[in-house]
Amino acid sequence: MFLSVYYLAALVLILTVHEAAHAWMANRLGDPTAAREGRLSLNPIRHLDLLGTLMLFVAGIGWGKPVPVNPRNFKKPARDEALTALAGPVANFLMAILAAIPLSYSPDFGFWGLLQVFSNAIMELSLVLFFFNMLPIPPLDGSKFMLAFIPFRYRASYHAFLRRSMPYFIVFVVVDLYIFGRMWGGSIIWTVVSTATFWLKTAILLLI
């Protein structure tokens, strides 16, 4: 229970920063849609998604409320939409680096020990969200980042596919967790993400 409270608090913070980073980048690149809807904020209530929160407890994988983006407001739509998608995972990666500092240098007793626990939760979950969101699977950020590499004549079709992708994504996650997981003894997604998280966390702590 003690650890779960810290991880839950860390997750709320990480999701909030992740979605706010999307809104900030979109606004910076010329699209004020998210800012007008109050998403340029560090208030967690503005960013938590009901379905994403429920999936977190049911399937172990969740997400925040998608940030609204209008590509027509961008000067270079494909590039700027890709950068907006990238902003969330990059924000999580930077949070992991910042969390590594108290985790590496603070003593492990009293208040500082609690700070270490919280910092560890932030670092681990930040890296998990970074790798998970960068998977090129719609509607994750990685699939939107791929827009920068999609030929112009296919972008309209790709956008349409992204808009319809949520049901397919949920089916894929359920199949991965409950069918592949039983067939091969573990989720493919979780195996890839957790392995990458372990090695990157180790590398960051060695370098900090």
| Contact present, 132 and 193 (Cβ < 8 Å) | yes
Question: Tokens standing for 174?
Answer: 């359920």
User: Length of the chain in residues, anyone?
Assistant: 208
User: Is 19 part of the annotated catalytic residue set?
Assistant: yes
Cβ neighbors of 141 (< 8 A, separation 6 or more) are: 85, 86, 88, 89, 133, 134
Q: Which of 19, 37, 81, 124 is catalytic?
A: 19
The full DSSP string for 30-78 is: T--HHHHTT-SS--GGGTB-HHHHHHHHHHS---BPPPP--GGGSSSHH
The amino acid that residue 130 corresponds to is F
> Which residues on adjacent β-strands are paired with residue 64?
48
**Active-site residue set:** 19
